[in-house]
């Protein structure tokens, strides 16, 4: 819409049992996703993940990728650009988020991308498939579900990785998450043989093999 070049325009708004306030805002012709006031897509999120990918490099022999947390699909688009022939599965507990990803952020245009509406914990616990890469990008607005840092969940994640698979985690490092990210790092060191860490703005990324 032409008006979006002068004023950000809300083109979709909803609330669900999982996300209180979901908004898709068109700004200068580009759609952006806000959840509970927190940015979940757009150039800022893209910059975070591009920094992480540059820091961690390109793992070889990636044939399939699991993304836990779909939101606006920024990381899915970036992964597809890096691995255009790879099958990507995105899992999100909120069907509205999946519908938004398809309608407003073109996730339905990505070949070999499957989106599943399911709780990430249940999916990891019950799905016995193994993956070459698992990406944890789970947020509820500006908060991270506590189970992401639980050792039980991390051990289940490791079981779902192929022997040379890699786990990428997008975490925070501000407010209470400054301490929680250190606790998470200590748990990851107990479970995985090699950990890499990079930080940008308020985020802390982990790469685990």
CATH number, residue 86:
3.40.50.150
Residue 5 lies in a domain: no
Residue 160 lies in a domain: yes
pLDDT confidence of residue 5: 61
Specify the 3-state DSSP secondary structure of 59: coil
Residue 76 lies in a domain: yes
- Which of these, 52, 202, 51, lies nearest to 133 by C-alpha position? 52
Mean pLDDT of all residues belonging to the chain: 96
- Which of these, 41, 21, 43, lies nearest to 32 by C-alpha position? 41
pLDDT confidence of residue 28: 86
Q: Domain tally for the chain?
A: 1
DSSP string computed for 93-133: S-HHHHHHHHHHH-GGGSTTEEEEES-HHHHHHH----EEE
Q: CB under 8 Å to 25, separation ≥6 — which residues?
A: 8, 9, 10, 11, 31, 32, 33, 34
pLDDT confidence of residue 7: 78
pLDDT confidence of residue 158: 98
Task: Please tell me the distance from the alpha carbon of residue 72 to that of residue 106, in angstroms, as a whole number.
Answer: 9
Task: Give the residue ranges of the chain where pLDDT is below 50.
Answer: none
Residue 200 lies in a domain: yes
Which residue range is the domain that position 203 belongs to? 40-208
Query: Within a 10 A sphere around the Cβ of 4, how many other Cβ atoms?
Result: 16
Residue 70 lies in a domain: yes
Residue 17 lies in a domain: no
pLDDT confidence of residue 1: 65
């Amino acid at each position: 819409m032409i008006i979006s070049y002068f004023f950000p325009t809300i083109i979709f708004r909803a609330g669900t049992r999982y996300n209180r306030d979901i908004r898709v805002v068109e700004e200068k012709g580009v759609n952006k996703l806000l959840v509970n006031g927190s940015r979940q897509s757009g150039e800022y999120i893209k910059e975070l993940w591009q920094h992480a990918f540059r820091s961690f490099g390109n793992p070889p022999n990636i044939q399939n990728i699991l993304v836990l947390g779909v939101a606006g699909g920024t990381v899915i688009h970036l992964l597809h650009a890096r691995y255009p022939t790879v099958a990507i599965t995105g899992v999100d507990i909120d069907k509205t988020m999946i519908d938004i990803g398809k309608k407003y952020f073109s996730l339905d245009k990505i070949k070999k991308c499957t989106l599943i509406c399911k709780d990430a914990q249940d999916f990891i616990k019950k799905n016995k498939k193994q993956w070459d890469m698992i990406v944890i990008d789970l947020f509820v607005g500006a908060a991270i579900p506590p189970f992401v840092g639980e050792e039980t969940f991390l051990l289940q994640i490791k079981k779902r990785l192929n022997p040379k698979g890699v786990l990428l985690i997008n975490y925070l490092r501000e407010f209470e998450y400054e301490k929680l990210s250190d606790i998470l790092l200590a748990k990851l060191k107990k479970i995985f043989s090699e950990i890499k860490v990079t930080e940008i703005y308020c985020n802390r990324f982990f790469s685990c093999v």
